[in-house]
Structure formats: C-alpha cells, structure tokens
Structure 1
Amino acid sequence: MNDPHRGTRAMAEVRARFGSVHEQIDGRRFAGKLLLFVLLVVAGAILVRHGSVWSIACGVILLGLMYAHALELQHEALHSIGFRGRRANVVAGVLLGIPMLTSFSAYRAAHMRHHRYLGTPDNHEYFDYGDQYGHAERTRARTVLAWVYRFSMISLYRQFLVDTVRLASGRPVPGEKPATVRDIRRDHLLITAVLGTAVTVSVATGSTFAVWAWLVPVLLVAGPVHAAVELPEHYRCETGTTDVFRNTRTIRSNRLMAWYTNGNNFHVEHHLMPSLPIARLSRLHQITAPRALHFHRTYRDFYRSLRTPRSRAPLAGPQAEYDTPQ
C-alpha cells in the first residue's frame, strides 16, 4: 500500500542522521566567492573595452556567465547562509541582483514561499517561465514558443518594469507586507539609479560600453544560462507531493558546475535543509542519494533525457545510475 507519510518520515530520518544544521557559517568562504565574481566581471569588462571583435565576444560571454552566476550567489545570501550577519547578506544580495534587474527582497519573499509551499497549489516561484514544471501538453509550435519564452527571460524584465511603475506610483505589491514592499522599493530605486546613470553616461559620452558590457551579455547570455541552470530543479518532477525526494531533482555534475551553480545542483539536499551552508550539501548528498527519485549524473544527461516523451521517460533514480560516494 502507498503510505502518504512515507516521504515525511524519510525526510525526518535523513535530517536526524545528518545532525544539527545550526553551525557557524564561514563568511570568509562567501567573501571569497564574491571576490572571484568581481575579478571575473572586471576581466570581462577589460575584454569588452579592448575593442577587437574576438575580445568583445569573449568579454560578452564571460560577463553574461557571471551575471547569471550572481543570481546563484544571491540565492545563498537570501537564505542568510553567505555571511553570519543579516545586514551583510542583504547588502551582498541587493548588489548581486543589479546586473539582471532582480530585487533581492522580492526574490527572497517569493523564494521562501516556494520552499514553504512546494508540492501544494500555493507554490509559485519568483522566476516565471510559463509552463514552470513541464506538465502542459502542447503542439510542436507551442512547445517551441514556450522554450523561447523560458530562455529569453522576458517575464523577468517585464515584471521589473511593472513593479517599478507600481512602486513609483506608491501602489502596494500584491501579496507582500508593507515592510517587504519598502525593501523592494529600495532595491528598485538602486537598480533604476544604476541603470539610469549608465544610460546617461553612455548618451553623454557617445560610448557603447554599457551596451556591450551589460545589455548584450544579459539578453544573449545571462538570461538563457540562468533559465538553463534553474530548469532541472523541479522540471517533470512530481510537484503534486510535498515529498522532497519526489518533487525535486539533484544533479551530481562536477566541481566546476557545482561552483558555477553555487551548489544548486544538489537541489534535493537544499530543499531538505534550506538553512544548511552550501559547502555541506555535497556531504548531505551522500545520505540522500539512495532516496532521491529524480537524479542525473550531469546536466548533459538531464537535457538529453528531455528528448524522451514523459510517458516513456525512465525514472532517473539512484538505483539505476548512481553509486553512492564513499
């Protein structure tokens, strides 16, 4: 017989085996991530400024990759597990959201609700991709349009404009408390100030640097890459259950991707213990691996699996394709 409480007991058992999550957060590790991010952004800006076609192309790609990576770092900050102090996490998170016009406070509020309500009708994510979890049946043409919509990140930029106008006119943000609205307004004021300054300087000097160092990387690289990184988290999982081992996917991948996604590849583990420092997710994975229903060795394996219709897609559980690390 199916036990409706089996998933809950399994999650409680894993948490108990792994021990307390109330340990000291190593802010130096997160500071190191931020420093590397800044250095790579500077390197990308220098490449764009160099002027040759190949240099600009390499700079655009590097900057786009870093802007998408910034949202993964922002995700750590919004869980308050980057630095020990709340204020430091907020400052870092707000700044990290500027490149992709992402309000730290709006993202945090929506994301915490996502963790709370995943597997229920109240679950809604901050980044809207339309068919969020791949459950809709579409014609081939509508499927292509759905993928274009997802990877273009049009919804993010449209929502930024809508919220900016709403906040500028003094109207509340639906579903958010007054204190949260004030924080969202602060984020939008900062982002629009930076955006306005970039546009003003560009027009005044006749420079296209902001276009090649910000606009083009965001539209052509950062948006699609971010959508690609987020897609596997719950796509085609059993999002009608609150069992984390069934409604979320983990991808083991390699050290480079684990760094780039900032541990988000271990997504089952993250949803199981959202307050766990990112550095410990790989250790938790050793315990969760035998239980996770949706698992892939690499991101390439996951995207290859999308070619298989859902009705014929094999379960990607660890029993078939994973050897628990020692």
Structure 2
Amino acid sequence: MDMTAGGAVDPAIENHQQVSELRAAMKHLRSEPRGWLFSLKFSLCVLLTTIGVLVALQPVWWCRVAGVVLIGCMFAHAAELQHEALHNLAYRSRRANAVSGIALGLPMLISFAAYKAAHMRHHRDLGTPMNREFFDYGDQYGREERSKLGAFVDWSVRFTMVHHYALFVANLGRSLLGRDFSGESARVSRRIRRDHRLVLGALLALSALSWSLDSMVIVWVWLLPLFLVAGPVHAAIELPEHFGCETLNRDPFANTRTIRSNRILTWFTNGNNFHVEHHLMPNLPLERLPDLHNEVQDRIRYFNRGYLDYFGKLLRR
C-alpha cells in the first residue's frame, strides 16, 4: 500500500478506495436502460417543441414570444436528454443512442460525437488539472477573482454561450474541409464531421423553406429560441454542477453539487440536479439517481434544496 512520508496512507488513495467500495455496495441499484421510458421523454420533447412552433408562427406578438420561450426551453431540455444518450443509458442499442443523441443535439448546434468524447474525458479527469468540459464558459468554476467589470464580462460570456457558437463555426469549417480534430481519433473525427454537416443541412433546409414561404420561419422557430432562450437556460442548468466546488479534489462528494428539486425541474433537467450521484455512478440509469441520493445524501458536501435556494445564495455571495 502506498504511504506518505510519515507512513500514513495517502488521502487521495484512501478516498479512491472508499468511493470504489461505495460503488460496489450500491451495485444493487444498477439496471438495464429502459428504452420505452426514454422514447416517452423524447416524444414529449418533440410534442412540446411542435406546440411551441405552432404558437410562435401565429401573427400575434405575445403568441410569438410564448412560442419562442417554449421552443428554447425544449432545445435546452433536448440537450439534457442527449446527455443520457451519450452515456448509452437511453437505449440498450449503441446505434439507437447515437441516432437519438444526434437528433437531440442538433437544435443547439451540439455535435453528439464531440460532446461524447469530451464528456467521457471530463468524467475521467474531474478533480485534476487535466479536466476540461465540452461547453467552454471561460472561468468555468468561479476560481478567479474578478473586478466588477470582469465579472460582468464573465457572466455575459457564460449566459450567451458565445464560445460554443464560435467553436461550432470553427468546427463546421474543419468539417467542410474534411480535416481531423486535434486530440480525437480518425473515427471520432469522422463522426464529428458528420454531425456538423447534418446541422448545416438542417440550417440550409429551414432557410430554403423560409425563402420559399417569404417568411421568417427560421428566425422564429430556431434562431431566436436558440440564442435568446436555449443558450441562457442551458448555461443556468450546467452552472451549479461544479461551480464553486473543490474541482481539484478527486472525491465526487467534494467536486460536484446536488440540488434536491421538485419533480418538474427534475424532469426538465433530466435528473441533472442529482449530479453528485451521476459522477459517483456514471453508468447508473438516470431514473435511479434519486434512489442513490437517498443512500448517500449525508456525505454530500455541496447541496441545495432547490434551484431558487442555489441561485439565491449565489446572488448574495
């Protein structure tokens, strides 16, 4: 057994052993993905998005505003469903996970292949200086001291998601040129190129429809919901995950936050609020995370009783 200089057990190794033992003790919670349940969630997302589209295309300003908000919220919800698919927890079939994941990420310009590769590394590297996340918000975890102006810029960058859109444009260019992506295998690079070309195809198709109808369809049902609603909502969902936590600590009870929220927000975030539990057992079906929470809640260091509680405390900091 590795020891420190004084003969004591290295705390990091001891913590790793404790987490491994806990995972082994919780193995009774594991179950196979229930594809029918994910299909229901997917179908509800499509239904609500369709309703939003119909409302947004009405020639009444308040209908259009309501439609844009609903569509944007469903775009953000779809990204949370995509997260389930990239862990291969939506269906038993990897192909079904990939197909659904590609479709769910398309509205927010998210490459399923790029997100999956980056997210798996995030799970592996969280707690180390090597950790990187797919969505770049600048000061990702709130570690740096900022002036008021610097803080304003940081929050603006986060909630507009400008880095994500800039990266999409850059990666689309690489995809159209047939180039590979740094740090990714040739196979993953091919899949990333495929995803970006599919998004471009969807943008061109909706643009053509708007032109043929001599209307602003693409603006009302995609661009405004994406930039004004989906981006900020998605950033708000992701913010509590690790912000202000001990992100250089390998212990998932220290580097991640859980929020015990109501059923509606748990559905909307697709269980993302149980984030400590997800990092503790990444391959656990998301509907089992509340059960895991009941087993480990006393160990969690960063915990909030609802999103209002979290954001209220954040604003008062």
Q: TM-score, normalised by structure 1?
A: 0.92
Equivalent pairs: percent with the same residue?
48
Partner of 1:198: 206
Find the aligned partners of 2:225 and 2:286 in 1 and give their Cα distance: 27
Partner of 2:264: 256
2:153 paired with 1:145 = yes
- Alpha-carbon contact 1:234-1:249 (below 8 Å) kept: yes
**Structure 2, unaligned stretches of length 5 or more?**
1-7
2:23 paired with 1:30 = no
Range 234-243 or range 44-53, more displaced: 44-53
2:173 paired with 1:172 = no
Query: 1:242 is matched by which residue type in structure 2?
Result: R
- Which SS does the other structure have where 1:295 is aligned? strand
Partner of 2:70: 62
Partner of 1:314: none
Range 17-26 or range 187-196, more displaced: 17-26
Q: Which of 216, 228, 235 is the equivalent residue of 2:236?
A: 228
2:127 paired with 1:119 = yes
- Which SS does the other structure have where 2:243 is aligned? coil
Partner of 1:78: 86
- Alpha-carbon contact 1:7-1:245 (below 8 Å) kept: no
- Alpha-carbon contact 1:7-1:244 (below 8 Å) kept: no
2:226 paired with 1:215 = no
Superposition pairs of residues 45-56 of structure 1, within 5 angstroms = 45-56=53-64
- Alpha-carbon contact 2:242-2:257 (below 8 Å) kept: yes
Find the aligned partners of 2:202 and 2:43 in 1 and give their Cα distance: 21
- Which SS does the other structure have where 1:250 is aligned? strand
Find the aligned partners of 1:24 and 1:113 in 2 and give their Cα distance: 23
Superposition pairs of residues 268-307 of structure 1, within 5 angstroms = 268-307=276-315
Q: How many residues align?
A: 309
- Alpha-carbon contact 2:259-2:304 (below 8 Å) kept: yes
Q: Which of 35, 40, 49 is the equivalent residue of 1:41?
A: 49
Structure with greater helix percent: 2
Partner of 1:238: 246
RMSD after superposition: 1.3
Cα-to-partner distance string for 1:226-285 (whole Å, 9 max, x where unaligned)? 000000000000011111000000001110110000000000000011110011000000
Query: 1:61 is matched by which residue type in structure 2?
Result: V
Query: 1:231 is matched by which residue type in structure 2?
Result: L
Superposition pairs of residues 86-105 of structure 1, within 5 angstroms = 86-105=94-113
Q: Compute the displacement of 1:21 (Å).
A: 5.7
Query: 1:265 is matched by which residue type in structure 2?
Result: N
Partner of 1:18: 26
Find the aligned partners of 1:5 and 1:289 in 2 and give their Cα distance: 22
Range 143-152 or range 167-176, more displaced: 167-176
Query: 2:153 is matched by which residue type in structure 1?
Result: L
2:189 paired with 1:181 = yes
**Structure 1, unaligned stretches of length 5 or more?**
310-326
